[in-house]
Homo-oligomer: A and B are copies of this chain.
Amino acid sequence: MPLPVPVLPDGVDPAWLPEEAFRPVGGRRVLIRGSGPLVETVHGEVAEACARFGGALAEDDPELVLEATGDDGSEAFTLGRRDGRTTVTASGGRGLLYGFFHVVRLGEAAFQGERRAEEHRPASALRMLDHWDNVAVHPVMGQVERGYAGGSLFWADGRARGELERVRAYGRLLAACGINAVAVNNVNVHETEARLLTDRIGEVADIAAALRPYGIRTQLSVTFAAPIVLGGLETADPLDDSVRRWWAGATARVYEAIPDFGGYVVKADSEGQPGPFAYGRTHADGANMLAGALAPHGGTVHWRAFVYDHRQDWRDRTTDRARAAYDHFVPLDGRFAPNAVLQVKHGPMDFQVREPVSPLIGAMPHTALAVELQATQEYTGQQRHVCWLGPMWSEVLRFGPAAGRGFEELVAVSNVGDDPFWTGHPLAQANLYTFGRLAWRPDADPGAILDEWIGLTFGADGPAKELHAVLDGSWRTYEKYTAPLGVGFMVQPGHHYGPSVDGYEYSPWGTYHFADRDGVGVDRSSATGTGYAGQYATPWAETYESPGTCPDELLLFFHHVPYGHVLKSGRTVIQHIYDTHFEGVAEVEAAMAVWASLKGRVEPARHARVAERYEEQLRCAREWRDQVNSYFFRKSGVPDERGRTVY
């Protein structure tokens, strides 16, 4: 039985799955072989496409053959074309579904010439989105913590929304870019959300059922204190037998409700969340206890490495937040269970526009690692600014140690909500798509992924060149007009939107730039600083150790230098600050003009939404420029060489 393709509610943007994208497949004679639920999904997709574009499901003389030879869980598929017939073969329904969407992505090219059989296989077995969605509206963080795309797709005002057709459509979008897991609630697990694990698991099961036909497994963020909060025990000590029994029982009941449940995501001993430290246990003890409960059912625990002192005294220069994840976790390498995955933010701080790659990646050879990216643009313009993160993520994934030995999984914090464009800013869809594709193949060229997204989303005859120009450099543009040279955190406290150069300077969060009248930056060298640079392997430890070899874009992350310090670019630090801030705003103006010129060539609602967001981006970019330039002019006293206005 073919599974019907989900119907989008009126007015919801089809993103990278517009009807037109199915024309090349839909106009053809298609043969489907195999059985199993995901084959039925493919069947439904093909039937819908053919009904729309005149093709047919046909045994005879097919132009496209989609064949699942069995029903295993493999995600690989083989694509080839010979004698006028395109063939996708997979050993199970999952692979077939990915193969089908690959043919959609190729479009007419999939049906032209000959194509040697090529195997496609994801580099990473788990490609997960973490939704920081709250079930109940949080008094400070709202429905979606760090959400810039409306409400949650899953929850509203304390309850499941029950709009499962939209959830199913969401699963389809995700499958079409390669994502195969979703954690449905915020890693900060509040009171209401805790109960999803137990008496409210049915609500999660409904979501899981909606996502399952598109090969997506559901995960749950849980609180480490669940045995106390939900189970009425007096302890959550991971080595306590009653605690272990409680988790085993709770987990078994989860699997009764959701047989293919993916596992747990845990933020423990982090920013106020409970964890094993309270019982004198290690994070390995904590993670392994949950891994033990999940193992009989084939589940995995994702244990976040985002552990640091968030009540630091700003006067204390001996503590360096950047060191924290490495210091906490590297001594535990080899002590995590096989189904415990350490989920590491890509940088040592917190999703700034520029950070070095976390030294943890590459430093724990005996531990399964997931790298966590942030699709939701908390620090990168909050989906009011265009900031396509493909190049940043690609740099992270190709970085020395990471590229060498790899990591097991890729995770991103979701940027999706109930917004008609899914992501608030229509162009932020590109981040979601790029994440899925990079998770499948981390060494892919991000520019090619961007073009893929543009082609699918805006059609084969869309303004590809202009869209590429608008998006491709947008991350570097954002970097230019915000915090310079890797220094980070010059944002408004709390909501993290817009500039506040000293906003986190005297805070307990471990986020400082130490700007004074002579210079700026954090000395993280081993010789004279916090020693963070020494957490890297050769050659990176040496490269970062000295201002002479440290890359310009990370200079202030690793070193405190005078304003007159000359960068590799030949400019002084202070002149670099002025120049990049003027350039960044000019680049926004230019991109905005390009977008304006596209009126009439892109769908009107999409054009209007982006145009409106550009107004805000430009306003905000100017605010960044002027505040940052003024701040450093007032501190340094050095005028701009080119005499531009610094207030």
A627 close to chain B: CB less than 8 A: yes
In the complex the two chains form, is A637's CB within 8 Å of B501's CB?
no
Within 8 A of B (CB), among A615-647: 623, 626-627, 630-631, 633-637, 647
Q: Assuming the A-B contacts A315-B647, A517-B517, A647-B315, are A506 and B630 also in contact, with contact meaning beta carbons closer than 8 angstroms in the complex? A: yes
Contact with B along A500-523 (1 / 0, CB 8 A): 111000100000000111100000
Within 8 A of B (CB), among A31-72: none
**A631→B315 CA distance, assembly (Å):** 12
The tally of residues in A whose CB lies under 8 Å from a CB in B reads 22
**A388→B315 CA distance, assembly (Å):** 31
In the complex the two chains form, is B506's CB within 8 Å of A637's CB?
no
Which residue of B500, B506, B517 contacts A506 across the interface (Cβ within 8 Å)?
A: B500
A499 close to chain B: CB less than 8 A: yes
Which of A631, A634, A635 has the most CB atoms of chain B within a 10 A radius of its CB? A634
**A635→B505 CA distance, assembly (Å):** 14
**A581→B325 CA distance, assembly (Å):** 37
Q: Assuming the A-B contacts A499-B506, A647-B315, are A516 and B627 also in contact, with contact meaning beta carbons closer than 8 angstroms in the complex? A: no
Contact with B along A269-302 (1 / 0, CB 8 A): 0000000000000000000000000000000000
A511 to chain B, nearest CB (A): 14
In the complex the two chains form, is A506's CB within 8 Å of B636's CB?
no
Which partner residue on chain B sits nearest A317 by CB separation? B647
**A517→B499 CA distance, assembly (Å):** 21
Within 8 A of B (CB), among A351-384: none
Secondary structure call for the A interface: loop
Chain B residues contacting A500 (CB-CB under 8 Å) are 502, 506
Within 8 A of B (CB), among A568-607: none
A362 to chain B, nearest CB (A): 35
In the complex the two chains form, is A518's CB within 8 Å of B637's CB?
yes
In the complex the two chains form, is A517's CB within 8 Å of B315's CB?
no
Chain B residues contacting A634 (CB-CB under 8 Å) are 515-517, 635
A312 to chain B, nearest CB (A): 13
In the complex the two chains form, is A517's CB within 8 Å of B630's CB?
no
In the complex the two chains form, is A315's CB within 8 Å of B502's CB?
no
The oligomer's copy count stands at 2
**A315→B626 CA distance, assembly (Å):** 8
Q: Assuming the A-B contacts A500-B502, A502-B502, A626-B315, are A635 and B635 also in contact, with contact meaning beta carbons closer than 8 angstroms in the complex? A: yes
In the complex the two chains form, is A635's CB within 8 Å of B516's CB?
yes
Which partner residue on chain B sits nearest A636 by CB separation? B517
Within 8 A of B (CB), among A455-512: 499-502, 506
A381 to chain B, nearest CB (A): 19
Q: Assuming the A-B contacts A500-B502, A506-B499, A506-B500, are A517 and B627 also in contact, with contact meaning beta carbons closer than 8 angstroms in the complex? A: no
Which partner residue on chain B sits nearest A498 by CB separation? B506
In the complex the two chains form, is B516's CB within 8 Å of A637's CB?
yes
Chain B residues contacting A631 (CB-CB under 8 Å) are 502, 506
Chain B residues contacting A506 (CB-CB under 8 Å) are 499-500, 623, 626-627, 630-631
Which partner residue on chain B sits nearest A626 by CB separation? B315
Which partner residue on chain B sits nearest A502 by CB separation? B502
**A19→B631 CA distance, assembly (Å):** 59
**A515→B516 CA distance, assembly (Å):** 13
Chain B residues contacting A635 (CB-CB under 8 Å) are 516-517, 634-635
**A635→B514 CA distance, assembly (Å):** 11
**A62→B637 CA distance, assembly (Å):** 80
Which of A502, A515, A626 has the most CB atoms of chain B within a 10 A radius of its CB? A502
Chain B residues contacting A637 (CB-CB under 8 Å) are 516-518
**A504→B637 CA distance, assembly (Å):** 21
A35 to chain B, nearest CB (A): 54
Which partner residue on chain B sits nearest A645 by CB separation? B315
**A517→B516 CA distance, assembly (Å):** 9
A375 to chain B, nearest CB (A): 28
Within 8 A of B (CB), among A511-541: 515-518
A496 to chain B, nearest CB (A): 14
Chain B residues contacting A314 (CB-CB under 8 Å) are 647
**A587→B635 CA distance, assembly (Å):** 32
**A418→B506 CA distance, assembly (Å):** 34
**A647→B517 CA distance, assembly (Å):** 14
Chain B residues contacting A517 (CB-CB under 8 Å) are 517, 634-637
Which partner residue on chain B sits nearest A518 by CB separation? B637
**A315→B314 CA distance, assembly (Å):** 30
**A506→B632 CA distance, assembly (Å):** 13
Chain B residues contacting A515 (CB-CB under 8 Å) are 634
Which of A501, A516, A626, A636 has the most CB atoms of chain B within a 10 A radius of its CB? A516
A628 to chain B, nearest CB (A): 10
A503 to chain B, nearest CB (A): 8
**A621→B568 CA distance, assembly (Å):** 44
Chain B residues contacting A626 (CB-CB under 8 Å) are 315, 506
Which partner residue on chain B sits nearest A501 by CB separation? B502
Chain B residues contacting A623 (CB-CB under 8 Å) are 506
Which partner residue on chain B sits nearest A623 by CB separation? B506
Chain B residues contacting A518 (CB-CB under 8 Å) are 637
For the A-B complex with A315-B626, A502-B502 known, give 4 more contacts whose Cβ atoms are closer than 8 Å. A315-B647, A500-B506, A506-B623, A515-B634
* A-B pairs with beta carbons under 8 Å apart, 16 shown: A315-B626, A315-B647, A500-B502, A502-B502, A502-B631, A506-B626, A506-B630, A515-B634, A516-B633, A516-B634, A516-B635, A516-B637, A517-B635, A517-B636, A517-B637, A634-B635
Report A's interface with B, CB cutoff 8 A. Answer: 314-315, 499-502, 506, 515-518, 623, 626-627, 630-631, 633-637, 647
Closest 4 CB pairs of A and B: A516-B634, A502-B502, A517-B517, A315-B647
